[in-house]
Structure 1
Amino acid sequence: MNRIFGLGGKKAPPPTLNAAVANVDARTSTLDEKIKRLEGEIAQYKDQMRRLPEGPSKNRIKAKAVNAIKQRNMYENARDQHTQQSFNMDMVMSMQDSMKNAAVTVKAMEQSNAAMKKQFKEIDPDKVDDIMFETSELMDQGNEIQEIMSQNLSMPFDVDESELDAELNELELGLDSGIGNELGSELDSVQGGIPSYLQGHGSAVPDLPELLPEGPGGAGMQYTPGSGGQSIPNAAAEAPRKEPALRM
């Protein structure tokens, strides 16, 4: 049977958008070349028309220019159509690529979800909670061990706190007594209200009576030098106090 009727021809593969876009782009390039050639001819015709006087020759050149302009416009329209077709096919191809990528993404997510479900079956949340609690306790124990290991080994551990308190009290008493002795020595240096740097120079100080500020009567208290360089009030030298006169 095959010898009589022969074998059927192989079916051509279905057209693809990539091939269609390639054909349209090639056609668009051809149209661009024709348009460029016609624009050159139109420029030549215009130049000839400027140099020729009015007459049959100029009219013949003008007819050629008009024909070239018509062809250029037709090619430009065809190029615009091919450009739009190529753009539309590019958009369709882009959408197809997006759908393919989406399908691949969905499939990958399905596999990932299946793997995660399988892993979750092997993990018990209560067991994880127990592990975290145990880890926290181990961390606390580790911190305690670190504190013990960081203690100062040079200080004895059997020191009696009562002994430390007694020693501290003695230290405070010693400080207080030292301050009291300093204050006592400072007070001893001042005798009778006379600074120490003036003592021993009693003969150099003139024996002049000193007066207190005047009272209501206008007279003040007089002082005389006594033994030891101290001044004592002189009662005899006190001025008589005048009584105010009574007015009738």
Structure 2
Amino acid sequence: MEQAFLLQPLPNLDEGSIAMYSAERRQAIRKLVEANARVSVAELAEQFGVSRASIRRDLNFLHESGLLQRTYGGALGANGVADEAPFTERRVSHLAEKGRIGRAAAQLVQPGETIFVDGGTTTECMAPFLGERSHITVVTYGLNIVNRLAQYDPITLIVIGGTLHAASQTFGGVLAINNMQAYDMHFDKAFIAAGGVSADAGVTNADLEQIPVKRRAVEAAREVILLADSSKLGAVRTALIAPAHKVHQLITDAGAPVDEVKALQALGMAVQLV
């Protein structure tokens, strides 16, 4: 369900029910964001008399132009929120949902497979369940993933080295990409974490340092599986990891907004709710 916020009406908008050309509507949306600080897709669609899909396209356009910050169910002013919460906070948020997502993801791993496990707090929840799998190879650039998996003897653990970014607990930079390219790495499955996913904007992330490794993993995998709790659906972050149609399966929790799930499924993405 879309989040609803009380909007202050725009002057001369004739109760907000007149359909407008996109450019005019986007200008009006900017004014609403400035006046209200926060707006919702549901409220905007009702006010302008257009579909929610049209409003999402408007918000994504304005976000990409740097004029507002896209959030689940709506938008904030361009300086309304930080791009991403600190790692320590993200690690304990939506913990029950992430645990179920991690278990479901680990069950997809077959003996003998080589998999890429992204750095992140959701993919970290795969670790205890991966320990139950036998004869698998895990490639990762996440320090938190390394620390969790190092205790399991049946797992061959390959760490993509590079510059350690303490804020995200991941290795990155030129060295990380060079290591992946030098060995021409390929994966049976890539389990990717992201800050946002939407049918329109694709799979996105706020941490630019992680983007090159994530993109390379997506390109090198036979199957791409996105792990994202429901708070990430409909959100758009700073940079693109991959278009939505590049993801074979999304594992998320049952709180995922129905319209976003249907839009992703329409692009051919399988969605597993846990």
Pairwise TM-score range, normalised by the shorter structure: under 0.3
Structure having the larger proportion of residues in strand: 2
TM-score normalized by structure 1? 0.14
TM-score normalized by structure 2? 0.13
Structure having the larger proportion of residues in helix: 1
Q: Give the structure, 1 or 2, with the largest relative contact order (CA under 8 Å, sep 6 or more).
A: 2
**Quick check: which has more Rg, 1 or 2?**
1
